Amino acid sequence: DLGSGFGVNAHVGFQKLKGSAKVTEIGKTAIENDIIDWKIGFTYGFSNGFVAAVSYIDTNRSLAGVTRNISNGTGVVSLSKTF
């Protein structure tokens, strides 16, 4: 809590792939068996109970889906209310 309704949140995650589960990054030939992801975000709580949030989420890998890179960093904006 930063005060005045503002907040900050963060996350770092590590996933070790088991068994035959492996990934190959776009443009590379090395086979990898782990992925690290992270998030940094900010929130603002309104007096009516709504919370607005903005965050940036990314990973250390460039992974290909069927038609595009599925692991690019991205921004997320949300508005929520608990009731």
Q: What is the pLDDT of residues 7-59, one digit of tens each?
A: 999 999 998 888 877 777 777 777 778 888 999 999 999 999 999 999 999 98
Query: Do residues 5 and 44 make contact, with C-beta atoms less than 8 angstroms apart?
Result: yes
pLDDT of residue 11: 96
Query: Do residues 10 and 39 make contact, with C-beta atoms less than 8 angstroms apart?
Result: yes
> Could you give the strand order of the β-sheet that contains 74-81, starting from the edge strand earlier in sequence?
6-16, 34-45, 50-59, 74-81
